[in-house]
Amino acid sequence: MKTRMRPGIVGRIITSLVVLTALSPIAVAAPVRLKVGLMPAVDAAPMLLAAERGYFEAEGVEVELVVFTNANERQVALQTGAVDGTITDLVAFVYNVQGGFDLRIASSTDGSFPFLVRKDFSEATKVRVAMMEVSVSNYLADAWLGSRYALEKVFITEIPARLEVIKAGKVDMACLPEPIASMGVLAGLEKREFANTDDYYPDILVFTASAAAKKLDAIRRFNRAVDRAVADLVANPSLARALLVEKLRLDPRVKDMMTLPTWHPTRLPAAEYLAKVSAWIAELQGKPVTLDWNKFLLREALP
């Protein structure tokens, strides 16, 4: 005896199978993974908070954050593909791209860069200043100290080594990011701060061109999660203080000493600012910066 199903029953069964297939774990795509480098600086706070509060997972992206204290190690990690992207600065970015290493800027970041002054420093017309050569610290030294002093620049890549040199009194001043700069205050150093007359800092978040092409949606989700963290920091800046002390393993006494920036949602540097920094880089390297910035600004990654 043959059994025949009515058309309505067959339709409902097929519909049910389609729904079950759609809900099956096999059909759910795993989140794309991003590995991002940070430096021990306040502009890492939004990303650290986004990880702490589960915002990356909520936005559907798997993120691993790696803190570097040495810019050379960060560079090697980026060039070898050990990280997809990193916080860096416009100066290093230009040198990378001119050297053939293709990168994309996903957003500007908000930093804070005081200058530490050695003990028993007496005002003079010429000062020895520790900084990193191809970096934001060199740019800010010229921008903030250049009109006050004749600068003898001492180039030190590692941030902890820069702190030790100024603590030992081997240089007069040193440019260090917060909250590391506040660690110097605990050692009896003076912290001098200068008003930033621009709406931006040279700090940026970059990704390799390959990661930008293959993981654009994940980078956009990353930025959305960071924006959620920025909103939290604007509402309660003390979140950054506690988090930076914990994640960077700092002396708890610096928590209320560190200078925090004005937090902004993810955004790209303005054309005027890029032109200003490019002019300084051109003078530093002795040749013009001829980049087509539109090629390197990852506008599609903004939420």
Which of 192, 214, 248 is a domain's end point? 192
Q: Give CA–CA dist 299/99, Å, rounded.
A: 23
Q: Give CA–CA dist 122/106, Å, rounded.
A: 43
> Is residue 154 located within the same domain as residue 167?
yes
Answer yes or no: is 263 within a domain.
yes
Q: How far are the Cα atoms of 53, 87, 112, 223, 277 from residue 45, in angstroms, in the given order? A: 12, 12, 12, 13, 24
Domain assignment of residue 235, given as a range: 32-111+199-301
> Is residue 120 located within the same domain as residue 188?
yes
Q: Give CA–CA dist 69/233, Å, rounded.
A: 24
Question: pTM for this one?
Answer: 0.88
Token digits of residue 132? 């990193």
Q: How many structural domains does the chain have?
A: 2
Q: Closest Cα to residue 109, out of 272, 263, 296?
A: 263
* Per-residue pLDDT tens listing for the chain (303 residues): 333 444 454 444 344 434 444 444 444 567 899 999 999 999 999 999 999 999 999 999 999 999 998 899 999 999 999 999 999 999 999 999 999 999 999 999 999 999 999 999 999 999 999 999 999 999 999 999 999 999 999 999 999 999 999 999 999 999 999 999 999 999 999 999 998 999 999 999 999 999 999 999 999 999 999 999 999 999 999 999 999 999 999 999 999 999 999 999 999 999 999 999 999 999 999 999 999 999 999 999 999
Q: Give CA–CA dist 167/192, Å, rounded.
A: 15
Beta bridge partners of 127: 151
Answer yes or no: is 294 within a domain.
yes
Q: Give CA–CA dist 45/226, Å, rounded.
A: 9
Nearby residues of 96 by Cβ (< 8 Å), 6 or more positions away = 75, 103
Q: In the 3-class helix/strand/coil scheme, how is 72-102 assigned residue by residue?
A: HHHHHHHHCCCCCEEEEEHHHHHHHHHCCCC
Q: 49-57: long-range contacts at Cβ-Cβ below 8 A with a sequence spacing of 24 or more?
A: 49/229, 49/232, 49/233, 49/239, 49/240, 49/243, 50/225, 50/226, 50/228, 50/229, 52/243, 53/228, 53/229, 53/232, 55/225, 55/226, 55/228, 55/229, 56/221, 56/222, 56/225, 57/31
Token digits of residue 4? 């025949």
> Is residue 80 located within the same domain as residue 51?
yes
Q: In this structure, what CATH number is given to the domain that contains residue 131?
A: 3.40.190.10
Nearby residues of 253 by Cβ (< 8 Å), 6 or more positions away = 186
> Is residue 205 located within the same domain as residue 104?
yes
> Is residue 149 located within the same domain as residue 67?
no
> Is residue 185 located within the same domain as residue 230?
no
221: enclosing H helix or E strand: helix 216-235
Token digits of residue 200? 């931006």
> Is residue 100 located within the same domain as residue 215?
yes
